[in-house]
């Protein structure tokens, strides 16, 4: 008898784990998944919005699960979705191809009716809703937008008599001057951060060929191809930057954090980065931040792109799973995420750019944030990050091809040909 | 045989009962998934949509024409050979030295075993800050010694990245094998060593003629662990380079992870996973077979005959 009960005990122990998970979640709880760890400025912004939601909707609790890191989050999230998506109600997304993929599999709640009701959609700029739309439907609510700019160390530019470069050739000349003075012209990181290197490539393509080549190629429109000369020429210009010595020695081995360190410790003069950078520097190097200014990515001679076309996208958007038990409440939460008050916090607390229309008190917001925000508002076109606009598989192929371009283990022509071949296979 | 005869029906059922939990775990988390991933590998599948695009062995065919797969396989082979020829000899040497009469034995043992205790991620980041191209310790040291031309972007250099990580892997695992060998050496009967010393054997002779032959089985175990470990290796590569730059340090396991969880080619990822399993299975069984023929007990008998 003893033996029998021991065996039963073992089996119960073994199975216990499987049952525990099902009793944990309480009724009327919304579970939110995002990437902002405790202490991050954006965490404060979202927590504030969640508090306001709870006040307006008594009886609802909100449980936040934050992962702190985008790639970690994306993996966990997709695995959870594949398992049915029952553990999460509201989730962070970057819009584009990935959100569209989930939407087409019927895993995401269609927000189009809610957007039309009470004219919720009027809160957003057209571009920001475009990032979270697919098949003429809206699937997400953008909270933050970002544009990519070249941030630079202003006193350093003054010291070496460098003006903000307006053309690609001027940029190369500025790099040479800085290099001769023992300064790293531009800090870059490619180790585990291929997307940082891709920002240069995306801008070069946009400056050489405008927004059309990528839009046509990714939509598989007639005449659209990744073999378009713009993609080849941009790759050539990128390798020219490497040859000119625009980046620090061994940049291929540097991680994202090192890149910010080089810039903040004034070892490097410039860095190409999204508008979230000043917010990061505000916590990492507050004394350095006042020295930072920006300029727009320069134009390329003979290029079709305008200087007012920016690379960017939604940095924080939120969507609701189809499996969510309280879609009404979840939508109310997302409405709070896009409220006037939240937008003011996005700008004021997190120093980031709200995706909704907003008013601000100039006395409370620093001028750099405001000028960067205006840059985005006055842009004549936005190139959504390539990795966000592509399917996950095509994005991976592209990112490692761009890394190979920097490492010179591939050629511009080969990059374009392989990209096109992958697109033909993937986007059928 | 003798075991089975001794077991009465009652004890046999006890044994079986106690085996059930372990076997159930083994079946659920190992046996079933192997077959499941083989099944997935016959489909083109993104993990989300229904499993309906059967492609037969299409994924395996694609695998054979995939240069990144061959690059990963080559990198795994380099890792395997590198591990066998660096980790094991160094570990044996340390084990022999540290089981002898050495001063501050405990300190040295702790020192060499410490890397094994540090978490993989922490070790990876520690070495990242050694290898960091601009302010990393290694490059700063080289520049201070006027060897600035040797300073490299270690983890970002397509020719060096793999070896930069291999060094850290060996640094971590030497301690593990050292403990394995030390335990085995300390379990050896002292009389043999005493007798050998009385017969006038030098230290080197004792190591060569007694310690090493008696370590034979442990070395075999260490080899199998090292071979299987190298084939399915993932951790430090993922922490330090994620297989980059441009697949230069890619291993089959990291490529499998990327294909499955980043590209969402779950079918292709499963084909990689199953291939990985097959390679590990075949290599370790071949190794076990080939060393079994000279029966494990032989060296022991020889030892006793003396």
Q: What are phi and psi of B141, to 5 degrees?
A: -65, -45
Chain B residue at shortest CA distance from A9: B21
Side-chain-side CA neighbours of residue B66 (13 Å):
22
Q: What is the DSSP letter of B227?
A: H
Query: Between the CA of residue A58 and those of A24, A45, A329, A338, A342, what are the distances in Å?
Result: 21, 20, 11, 20, 20
Same-domain pairing of A217 and A352? no
Q: What is the CATH number of the domain that holds B196?
A: 1.10.3720.10
Tally the domains of chain A.
2
Angle at B24 between CA B22 and CA B29, to 5 degrees: 100
Percentages of chain B per state (helix, strand, coil), in multiples of 5: 75, 0, 25
CB contact under 8 A, B153 and A6: no
Nearest to A355 by CA among A374, A338, A371: A338
Residue B130 within a domain? yes
Q: How many contacts, defined by CB atoms under 8 Å, are there between A and B?
A: 129
pLDDT tens, residue by residue, A144-164? 999 999 999 999 999 999 999
B160: left (phi over 0), alpha (psi -120 to 50) or beta: alpha
Residue A10 within a domain? no
Same-domain pairing of A293 and A363? no
Of A6, A14, A190, the CB nearest to B24: A14
* DSSP three-state, residue A313: strand
Same-domain pairing of A154 and A221? yes
pLDDT tens, residue by residue, A344-368? 999 888 888 999 888 777 777 888 9
Mean of per-residue pLDDT scores for chain B: 88
Same-domain pairing of A330 and A395? no
* Structural tokens at position B170: 């060996």
Residues of chain A with C-beta less than 8 angstroms from the C-beta of B165: none
Q: What are phi and psi of A138, to 5 degrees?
A: -100, 130
pLDDT tens, residue by residue, A22-75? 444 446 899 999 999 888 889 999 999 999 999 999 889 999 999 877 778 888
pLDDT score of A81:
83
Query: Between the CA of residue A216 and those of A390, A399, B142, what are the distances in Å?
Result: 13, 19, 49
Confidence of residue A409 (pLDDT cuts 50, 70, 90): very high
Same-domain pairing of A161 and A92? no
Number of H helices, E strands in chain B: 16, 0
Same-domain pairing of A84 and A54? yes
Of B48, B132, B258, the CB nearest to A396: B258
Query: In terms of C-beta distances under 8 Å and separation of at least 24 residues, what long-range contacts does B45-54 make, across chains too?
Result: B45/B266, B45/B267, B46/A101, B46/B264, B46/B265, B46/B266, B47/A78, B47/A82, B47/B260, B47/B264, B47/B266, B48/A78, B48/A81, B48/A82, B48/A101, B48/A102, B48/A105, B48/A107, B48/B264, B49/A105, B53/B267
Mean pLDDT of A273-282: 89
Same-domain pairing of A253 and A133? no
CB contact under 8 A, B17 and A7: yes
Q: Which domain holds residue B152?
A: 58-305
Same-domain pairing of A279 and A165? yes
Nearest to A407 by CA among B182, B245, B205: B245
Residue A2 within a domain? no
Residue A211 within a domain? yes
Q: Which of A378, A399, A416 is the last residue of a domain?
A: A378
CB contact under 8 A, A250 and B14: no
Chain A residue at shortest CA distance from B162: A253
Task: Give B48 to chain A, closest Cα distance, Å.
Answer: 5
**Does pLDDT of A15 surpass 60?**
no
Residue B5 within a domain? no
Residue A396 within a domain? yes
Q: Which of A184, A191, A238, A397 to mutate to test the interface with B (most CBs of B within 10 A)?
A: A191
How many other C-beta atoms can be found within 10 angstroms of the C-beta atom of residue B18?
14
Residue B74 within a domain? yes
Residue A80 within a domain? yes
| Global ipTM | 0.82
Residues of chain A with C-beta less than 8 angstroms from the C-beta of B49: 105
pLDDT tens, residue by residue, A307-317? 999 999 988 99
Residue B26 within a domain? no
Chain A residue at shortest CA distance from B47: A82
Distance CA(A80)–CA(A73), nearest Å, equals 10
Tally the domains of chain B.
1
pLDDT score of A150:
97
Confidence of residue B7 (pLDDT cuts 50, 70, 90): low
Same-domain pairing of A120 and A55? yes
Same-domain pairing of A362 and A419? no
* DSSP three-state, residue A160: coil
Residue A5 within a domain? no
Q: What is the CATH number of the domain that holds A60?
A: 3.40.190.10
DSSP B231-265: HT--HHHHHHTTT-STTTT--HHHHHHIIIIIS--
Same-domain pairing of A199 and A297? yes
Residue B206 within a domain? yes
Residue B173 within a domain? yes
Say if CB A198 and CB A387 are below 8 A apart. yes
Same-domain pairing of A33 and A174? no
CB contact under 8 A, A191 and B241: yes
Task: Give A226 to chain B, closest Cα distance, Å.
Answer: 19
Task: Give B12 to chain A, closest Cα distance, Å.
Answer: 12
pLDDT score of B151:
87
CB contact under 8 A, A254 and B134: yes
Residue found under tokens 């990519």: A148
Mean pLDDT of B169-178: 94
Mean pLDDT of A3-24: 48
Q: Which domain holds residue A168?
A: 146-312+382-426
CB contact under 8 A, A191 and B155: yes
Chain A residue at shortest CA distance from B153: A250
Q: Which of A16, A238, A250, A251 to mutate to test the interface with B (most CBs of B within 10 A)?
A: A250
């Amino acid at each position: 008898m003893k033996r029998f009960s021991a065996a039963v005990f073992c089996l119960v122990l073994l199975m216990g784990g499987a049952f525990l998970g099902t009793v944990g979640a309480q009724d009327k709880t919304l579970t939110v998944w995002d990437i902002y760890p405790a202490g991050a400025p954006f965490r404060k912004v979202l927590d504030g919005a969640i508090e306001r939601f709870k006040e307006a909707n008594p009886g609802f609790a909100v449980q936040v699960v934050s992962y702190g890191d985008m790639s970690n989050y994306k993996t966990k999230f997709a695995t959870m979705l594949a398992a049915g998506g029952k553990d999460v109600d509201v989730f962070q997304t970057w819009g584009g191809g990935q959100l569209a993929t989930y939407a087409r599999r019927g895993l995401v709640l269609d927000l189009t009716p809610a957007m039309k009701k009470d004219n919720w959609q009027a809160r957003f700029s057209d571009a920001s809703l475009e990032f979270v739309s697919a098949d003429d439907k809206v699937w997400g609510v953008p909270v933050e937008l970002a544009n990519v700019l070249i941030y630079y160390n202003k006193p350093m530019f003054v010291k070496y008599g460098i003006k903000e470069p307006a053309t690609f050739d001027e940029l190369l000349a500025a790099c040479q001057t800085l290099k001769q003075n023992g300064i790293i012209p531009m800090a870059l990181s490619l180790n585990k951060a291929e997307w940082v290197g891709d920002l240069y490539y995306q801008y070069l393509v946009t400056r050489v060929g405008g927004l059309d080549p990528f839009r046509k190629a990714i939509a598989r429109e007639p005449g659209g191809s990744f073999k378009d000369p713009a993609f080849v020429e941009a790759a050539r210009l990128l390798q020219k930057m490497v040859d000119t010595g625009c980046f620090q020695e061994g940049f291929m081995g540097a991680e994202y954090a090192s890149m910010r360190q080089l810039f903040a410790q004034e070892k490097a003069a410039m860095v190409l980065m999204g508008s979230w950078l000043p917010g990061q520097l505000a916590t990492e190097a507050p004394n350095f931040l006042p020295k930072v200014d920006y300029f727009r990515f320069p134009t390329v001679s003979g290029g079709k792109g305008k200087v007012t076309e920016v690379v960017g996208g939604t940095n924080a958007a939120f969507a609701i799973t189809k499996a969510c038990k309280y879609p009404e409440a979840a939508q109310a939460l997302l409405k709070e995420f896009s409220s006037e008050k939240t937008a003011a916090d996005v700008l004021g607390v997190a120093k980031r750019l709200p995706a909704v229309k907003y008013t601000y008190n100039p006395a409370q917001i620093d001028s750099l944030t405001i000028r960067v925000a205006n840059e985005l508002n006055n842009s004549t076109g936005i190139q959504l990050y390539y990795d966000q606009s592509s399917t996950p598989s095509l994005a991976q192929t592209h990112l490692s091809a761009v890394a190979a371009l920097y490492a010179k283990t591939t050629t511009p022509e080969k990059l374009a040909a392989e990209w096109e071949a992958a697109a033909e296979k993937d986007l059928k | 045989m003798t075991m089975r005869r001794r077991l009465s029906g009652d004890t046999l059922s006890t044994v079986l009962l106690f085996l059930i939990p372990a076997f159930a775990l083994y079946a659920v988390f190992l046996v079933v998934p192997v077959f499941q991933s083989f099944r997935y590998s016959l489909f083109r599948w993104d993990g989300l949509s229904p499993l309906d695009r059967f492609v037969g062995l299409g994924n395996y065919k694609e695998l054979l024409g995939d240069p990144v797969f061959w690059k990963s396989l080559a990198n795994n082979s380099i890792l395997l050979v590198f591990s066998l020829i660096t980790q094991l000899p160094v570990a044996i040497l340390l084990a022999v030295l540290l089981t002898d009469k050495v001063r501050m034995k405990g300190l040295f043992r702790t020192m060499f075993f410490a890397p094994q205790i540090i978490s993989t991620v922490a070790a990876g980041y520690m070495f990242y800050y050694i290898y960091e191209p601009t302010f990393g310790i290694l490059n700063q040291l080289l520049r201070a010694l006027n060897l600035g031309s040797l300073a490299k972007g270690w983890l970002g250099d397509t020719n060096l990245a793999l070896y930069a990580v291999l060094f850290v892997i060996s640094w971590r695992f030497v301690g593990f094998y050292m403990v394995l060998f030390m335990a085995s050496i300390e379990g050896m009967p002292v009389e043999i060593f005493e007798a050998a010393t009385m017969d006038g054997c030098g230290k080197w002779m004792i190591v060569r003629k007694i310690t090493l032959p008696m370590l034979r089985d442990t070395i075999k175990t260490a080899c199998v662990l090292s071979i299987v470990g190298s084939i399915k290796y993932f951790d430090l590569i993922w922490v330090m380079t994620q297989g980059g730059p441009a697949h230069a340090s890619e291993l089959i396991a990291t490529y499998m992870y990327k294909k499955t969880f980043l590209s969402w080619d779950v079918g292709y990822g499963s084909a990689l996973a199953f291939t990985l399993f097959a390679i590990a299975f075949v290599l370790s069984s071949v190794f076990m077979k080939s060393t079994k023929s000279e029966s494990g007990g032989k060296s022991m008998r020889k030892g006793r005959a003396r």
